[in-house]
Chain A
Amino acid sequence: MRAIVRFAAWIYAIAIYGFIFLPVVVLVLFSLQATSFPIPPFTGPSLRWYQAVLSDARLTSALVNSLLVAVLSSLASVTLGFLSAWGFARFVLPGSALLRGLITLPLTVSYLIIGMGLLVLFNWAGVPKSLLAAGIGHVVINLPLCFAIIYSQMGDHQINIERAARDLGAAEWKVLMMITVPVMAPAIFAGFFLSMTFSWDEFVISFLLTRFETTLPVEIWNLLRSGLNPKTNAVGSLVFAVSIVLVVFFELTLLRRKPA
Chain B
Amino acid sequence: MSAPLVDIRNVSHRFGQLAVLKNVSLAIEPGSYTILLGPSGSGKTTLLSILGGFVTPSEGKVFIRGADCTAVPPAKRPTTTVFQDYALFPHMSVGGNVGFGLRMQGVDGATRAAKARDALALVGLAAAFDKKPHQLSGGQRQRVALARALVIEPAVLLLDEPLGALDLKLRRQMQDELKAIQKRVGTAFIHVTHDQEEAMALADHCVVMNDGRIEDEGPPERVYARPATRFSATFMGESTILAGTLAEAKNGIVTASTPVGPVSLPGASPAGANVALAIRPEHLVLGEAKGDVALGTAKVGDVVFQGSFKRVLAVSTLDPALQFIAKAPASAAVRAGDTIAVSCNAQDIILLAD
Contact = CB atoms under 8 A, between A and B. Distances in A.
A174 B101 CA distance: 12
Nearest to A181: B91
A166 B134 contact: no
Nearest to A156: B85
A8 to B, nearest CB: 47
B101 A168 contact: yes
Interface string A168-201: 1111001000010011010000000000000000
Interface in B96-146: 100-101, 104-105, 134
Contacts of B87: 160-161, 163-164
A258 interface: yes
A169 B91 contact: no
A132 interface: no
B90 interface: yes
A169 B105 contact: yes
Contact of A168 (B53, B80, B91): B80
Nearest to B132: A258
A132 B53 CA distance: 45
B90 to A, nearest CB: 5
Given A161-B89, A183-B89, A183-B91, A168 B54 contact: no
B89 A166 contact: no
Given A259-B134, A260-B134, A165 B89 contact: yes
B100 A168 contact: yes
A157 B75 CA distance: 20
Given A174-B104, A260-B134, A168 B152 contact: yes
Nearest to B85: A160
A259 to B, nearest CB: 5
Given A157-B85, A174-B104, A166 B90 contact: no
Contact of B74 (A161, A167, A183, A258): A167
B351 to A, nearest CB: 44
A185 B92 CA distance: 13
A166 B75 contact: yes
Contacts of B73: 166
Of the four ranges (under 10, 10 to 19, 20 to 34, 35 or more), the interface on chain B belongs to 20 to 34
Interface string B53-79: 110000000000000000001111001
B231 interface: no
A259 B152 CA distance: 28
Nearest to B53: A167
Contact of A169 (B83, B90, B104, B134): B104
Given A161-B87, A183-B90, A260-B90, A168 B148 contact: yes
Contact of B89 (A169, A174, A179, A185): A179
A174 B80 CA distance: 18
B81 interface: yes
Contacts of B81: 163-164, 167
B244 interface: no
A166 B100 CA distance: 11
B134 A163 contact: no
Contacts of A164: 81, 83, 87-89, 148
A182 B134 CA distance: 16
A97 B83 CA distance: 29
B54 A169 contact: no
A258 B90 contact: yes
Contacts of A161: 87-90
Nearest to A164: B87
A146 to B, nearest CB: 20
Contacts of B90: 161, 183, 258, 260
Contacts of B89: 161, 164-165, 179, 183
Which of A163, A167, A169, A259 counts the most B-chain CB atoms under 10 A from its CB? A167
Question: What are the 3 closest A-B residue pairs judged by CB atoms, nearest first?
Answer: A168-B101, A169-B104, A160-B87
7 contacts: A163-B87, A164-B89, A166-B73, A183-B89, A185-B91, A258-B91, A260-B134
Interface of A: 157, 160-161, 163-171, 174, 179, 182-183, 185, 258-260
